């Protein structure tokens, strides 16, 4: 019994790393970049400076929530695509309800919480691929090998680094000789990119769904360990899908990083001239 529990726990951990490891890291970095951009604007131009990107990025963010609410059968009660509130820092919101007795709808809380990152990155990728076809990095192809975890992680890290590098090169080439169309397109994509990350509230609402997903994966692995060798049955079918997903998310991350640099440099120069201090984007 102990062997079954240990095997199931080990495979559950690996499944979670496979499914959410890289996605979680990208989410964290996007969250930090978004926070740093908001802080930079607030210190230099005031609260309304965030509107420069929010009037485009926030509606895209909230529409992502709405789409996944419908996909998981949640009832959408109220939507504010862009309704800034300085006191709370809220730029928009989606109020929804669900049946807590429904496992499917409960799991949906997780995906609804991270929806803006998924839909926003996909939109960015489609926009870029439509106007600059074939320049973005390829999907992340490396997967997790249960027999060689260290090598697998190293391979994924290498692909992530190369993917980010290729995306930065593609972005820089695209704006080397800017046209009016290119400038407008880059501005729209940058505005979307800096509002990709889930908010504190989004992440808080997503946690129960993540806990339920973890529990279901553990139950699955307990059954597999009891009736078979307990191999990573789920790993192979999802690797190709995750490769494409991570490729798209990496493009969103590359654009968000470029957007931060693009916004921070002029804001930092303005702040240095105005306050005679270096602009701290962290707090």
Digitized pLDDT (tens) for each residue of the chain, 283 residues in all: 777 788 778 778 877 877 788 888 888 999 999 889 989 998 998 888 889 999 999 999 999 999 999 999 999 999 999 999 888 888 999 999 999 999 999 999 999 999 999 999 999 988 888 887 777 777 776 666 656 666 777 888 888 888 888 888 888 877 777 788 888 888 898 899 989 999 889 999 999 999 999 999 888 888 877 776 545 555 555 667 777 888 888 888 988 898 899 899 999 999 999 888 999 998 8
**Spacing of C-alpha 73 from chain mean position:** 22
The dihedral through the CA atoms of 153, 154, 155, 156 has a sign that is positive
How would you classify residue 89: left for phi > 0, otherwise alpha for psi between -120 and 50, otherwise beta? left
CA atoms within 13 A on the CB side of 237: 4
Q: What is the pLDDT of residues 111-149, one digit of tens each?
A: 999 999 999 999 998 888 888 777 777 777 666 665 666
Q: Mind listing the pLDDT tens digit for each residue in 92-105?
A: 999 999 999 999 99
Token pair belonging to 282: 């962290």
Q: How far apart are CA 125 and CA 11, in angstroms?
A: 33
Domain residue ranges of the chain, discontinuous segments joined by +: 2-275
Pair 178, 171: CB distance under 8 Å: no
Handedness of CA 106, 111, 116, 122 (dihedral sign): negative
Stated pTM of the model: 0.84
């Amino acid at each position: 019994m102990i062997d079954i529990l240990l095997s199931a726990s080990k495979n559950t951990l690996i499944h979670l790393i496979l499914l959410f490891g890289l996605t979680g890291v990208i989410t964290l970095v996007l969250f930090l970049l978004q926070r740093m951009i908001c802080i930079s604007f607030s210190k230099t131009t005031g609260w309304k400076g965030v509107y420069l990107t929010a009037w485009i990025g926030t509606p895209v963010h909230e529409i992502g929530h709405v789409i996944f609410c419908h996909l998981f059968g949640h009832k959408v009660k109220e939507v504010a695509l862009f309704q800034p509130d300085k006191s709370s820092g809220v730029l928009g919101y989606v109020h929804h309800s669900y049946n807590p007795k429904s496992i499917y709808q409960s799991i949906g809380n997780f995906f609804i919480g991270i929806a803006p990152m998924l839909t926003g990155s996909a939109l960015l990728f489609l926009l870029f691929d439509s106007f600059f076809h074939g320049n973005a990095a390829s999907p992340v192809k490396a997967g997790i090998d249960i027999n060689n975890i260290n090598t697998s992680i190293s391979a994924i890290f290498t692909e992530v680094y190369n993917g980010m590098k290729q995306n930065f090169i593609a972005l820089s080439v695209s704006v080397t000789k800017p046209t009016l169309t290119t400038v407008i397109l880059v501005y729209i994509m940058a505005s979307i990119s800096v509002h990709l990350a889930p908010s504190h509230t989004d992440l808080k609402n997503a946690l129960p769904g993540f806990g339920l997903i973890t529990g279901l994966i553990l139950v699955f692995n307990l059954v597999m360990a009891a009736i078979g060798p307990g191999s990573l049955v789920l790993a192979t079918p999802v690797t190709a899908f995750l490769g494409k997903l991570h490729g798209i998310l990496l493009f969103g991350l590359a654009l968000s990083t470029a957007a931060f640099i693009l916004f921070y440099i002029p804001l930092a120069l303005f702040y240095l001239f105005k306050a005679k201090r270096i602009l701290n984007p962290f707090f």
